[in-house]
Amino acid sequence: MADAQFGKQTASTVRYGKQTGTTSTISGHKVLRQTYTLLAITLIWSAFAAVTSMMLNPPHMVALMCMLGGFGMLFFLNKVANSAKALYWVFAFTGLMGFALGPMLNSYIMSSASGSFHIFQALSTTGAIFLSLSGYTLISKKDFSFMGGFLMVGLWVVIGAIVFNLIASLMGYHISGFHMAISSMVVFLMSGLIMFDTSRILHGGETNYVRATVSLYLSIYNLFIHLLAIFGFAND
C-alpha cells in the first residue's frame, strides 16, 4: 500500500513537473514574441530619430547630452518596467539614443567617400550577427546563463579601458590601436549578451518584455557603433 501510494505521488510529481516546464516554456515564448515585436518597433523609431538628427545636424555636444540622458533614463525605466507607462519611456529612451547617432554618422559620411558604405556595412553586419545568434539560441534551446559572470566581468574591463583611454587622451597620450582593441572586445561581449539575454527570456529568467527589449536594444546599439568604428579604423 505504501509503495502504491508512493508511486501515485511520484507520478503526480512527474506530471506536475512536466506541466510546470511546459507552462514556463509557453510563457518564455510569449515574452519572446512581445520582446521581438517591441524591439523591431523601437529600432525603426530609433532609425527615424537618427535620420532626423542627420538632417538637423546638431552639435556633437547635443548628441552627447542626448546619449547621457538616455543612459540616465535607464534607472527610471527599470523602476517603471511593470507599469503601463513603461512603453512611453522606452520610446523616449530609444528616440534619444537614435538622435544621438546623427552627428557621428554625418562625421563618417563627410570624412571619406566610403563613409556611407561603412555605415551600411556596420548596419548589415549588426543585423546578421543578431539574427544568427538569436536564431542559434532559439533553435538549440541551450541555456547560456553560465555566461553571466564572464560577461559582467568583461563589461567592467571594457568600462575601465574606456576610462583609461579617455584619461590618456586628455593627457595627450594616444595609444595606437587601443580604440580598435576596445571596439573588438565590445563586439565580442555584445554578441555574448545577445545569446545570454535571448536564452534568459526563452527559459523564463526574464519575464518582463520591456526590460528584455531595452537589454537587447542596448546590445544591438553598441554592436553597431563599435562595428562602425572597426570598419572605419580598417579604412583609415
Alpha helices in 57-85 (DSSP H): 60-80
120 located within any domain? yes
Predicted confidence at residue 234, as pLDDT, reads: 58
Residue 141 backbone zone (phi > 0: left; psi -120 to 50: alpha; other: beta): left
Tell me how far CA of residue 61 lies from CA of 64, 68, 103, in angstroms.
5, 10, 9
| pLDDT, position 82 | 87
The reply to whether 230 falls in a domain is: yes
- Whether residue 4 is contained in a domain is answered as no
Q: Write out the DSSP string of 87-147.
A: HHHHHHHHHHHHHHHHHHHHHHHHH-TTHHHHHHHHHHHHHHHHHHHHHHHHHH----GGG
Full-model pTM: 0.84
Number of independent structural domains in the chain: 1
- With respect to residue 17, please indicate whether it lies within any of the assigned structural domains: no
* Chain centre distance of CA 18: 32
pLDDT in tens, the chain (236 residues): 434 443 433 344 333 344 444 555 567 778 899 999 999 999 999 999 999 999 998 988 998 899 889 888 888 888 888 888 899 999 999 999 999 999 999 988 887 778 888 899 999 999 999 999 999 999 998 999 899 899 999 999 999 988 888 888 778 777 767 888 899 999 999 999 999 999 999 888 888 999 999 999 999 999 999 999 998 875 55
Kindly state whether residue 27 falls inside one of the protein's structural domains. yes
Residue 206 belongs to some domain of the structure: yes
d(CA 16, CA 33): 26
CB 197 within 8 A of CB 212: yes
7 inside domain? no
* Contacts of residue 24, Cβ cutoff 8 Å, sequence gap at least 6: 203, 204
Domain encompassing residue 93: 22-235
Instruction: Say what the pLDDT of residue 96 is.
Output: 94
Within a domain: residue 138? yes
